[in-house]
Amino acid sequence: MKTIFVYLPENVVAMSATLIKELCWVAASYAGELASESVNPSQCIRFISLDGSPVQCFSGNQLSVDVSLKEAAAENIPVDAVFLSAFWGAPKKIMEENQTLLPWLTQLHESNVPIAAVSNGPFFLAQAGLLDDKVATVYPPMKEQFQQRYPNVTLRSERAITDAGNLYCANGIASGCDLAVSIIEMVYGPDVARKVGQNFLVGFNRSYSIANVEFDGQKYHRDRQILTAQQWLERHFNSSVKLEAVAADVGMSPRNFSRRFKLATGDSPSYYLQRLRVEASRELLRTTDLTIAEVGYRVGYGDLSYFSRVFKKNEGCLPHQYRQNIK
């Protein structure tokens, strides 16, 4: 049984917590159906707070809580993912009230548990020191306070979602729902995530792309030349890319470039480029009515049959099948 916690601070913004809990609740239900298992989603998706008492929402209502932080730690409950909800009020006061949360977050991160913070929830990750020298985003009206309080964090408030190596931030409620579906994919797999997105994120009019979010986590290495190459590939993946020229631009032979790229990112340069193109094509298939050939062309593949083969190799289905599955 999978376990996902949604953390509630006092003065929680209720919809930042309830939307995510319900998306994950549905995911747990779908996962049980696919596995032909009896699953009680209420035991899988749980609200957690400092003391286990009902939490006061900023709007005056209360949310009941399933477990306290102390109980979760004492019972050594295995955790598959944690979401940090948004709050209302001065960050300084909220951070002071939630100091006992911070060691738990550090422990989770050291155990490679995905932690996703929504809206101004990234304050908790930054307060724990987990975002130092890493990329993050935050609710745009809070960006100046965030920058002043955490100067060591690389803030990208224009980004909807960021990934700092299993530390995820979303800059609002809508992007938080997209992030929730990404976490659902990690926990329950792509079939469940696709079904949740298809049935519950209908009508989302996004002004951003989530195609390259997962590549953020492959940038926490110290090879600046390889990082420069990654950034160049992410800007130019849809053009005719010659990796030998990229290697030359960062002052390496093709062989040394391939070796260092693999060492730094875990991917070969050609596979990294392929993944960039496939991720971008998924976004176009989901959000536009472009023909399959036009999608392939937009992401750098002039040959439709080759694009289809590459897409199927990565996604397990052809582009038109992927589009049918998400409609």
For residue range 268-289, list pLDDT tens digits in order: 999 999 999 998 998 889 878 8
Statement: the pTM of the whole predicted model exceeds 0.75: no
Nearest to 187 by CA among 9, 42, 11, 28: 28
Domains 4-207 and 221-327 are alike in CATH topology: no
141-150, 169-178, 215-224, 291-300, range with the lowest pLDDT: 215-224
Domain segments of the chain: what residues? Answer: 4-207, 221-327
Angle at Cα 9 formed by Cα 4 and Cα 14, nearest 5°?
75
SS3 content of the chain, % helix, strand, coil (to 5): 55, 10, 35
**Could you give the angle at which helices 269-287 and 304-315 cross, rounded to 10 degrees?**
100
- 3-state secondary structure (DSSP) of residue 201: coil
What pLDDT score does 102 carry?
96
Cβ atoms of residues 117 and 170 within 8 Å:
yes
Q: Whole-angstrom Cα distance, residue 283 to residue 195? A: 16
CATH number assigned to the domain with residue range 221-327, chosen from the 4 options 1.10.10.60, 3.30.1330.10, 1.10.357.10, 3.40.50.970: 1.10.10.60
Neighbours of 115 (CB within 10 A): 25
Mean pLDDT of 28-42: 85
Nearest to 295 by CA among 287, 305, 284: 284
**Could you give the angle at which helices 269-287 and 319-326 cross, rounded to 10 degrees?**
40
More confident residue, 299 or 199: 299
| Cα atoms found within 13 Å of the Cα of residue 16, Cβ hemisphere only | 30
For residue range 12-23, list pLDDT tens digits in order: 999 999 999 999
Q: Whole-angstrom Cα distance, residue 86 to residue 122? A: 9
5-19, 69-83, 235-249, range with the lowest pLDDT: 69-83
Query: How high does pLDDT run on average in the chain?
Result: 89
Q: Whole-angstrom Cα distance, residue 16 to residue 42? A: 18
Residue 225: C-alpha distances to residues 27, 234, 265, 284 (Å):
41, 14, 12, 30
Q: Whole-angstrom Cα distance, residue 197 to residue 217? A: 23
**CATH superfamily, with its number, for domain 4-207:** Class I glutamine amidotransferase (GATase) domain (3.40.50.880)
**Could you give the percent of the chain with pLDDT greater than 70?**
93
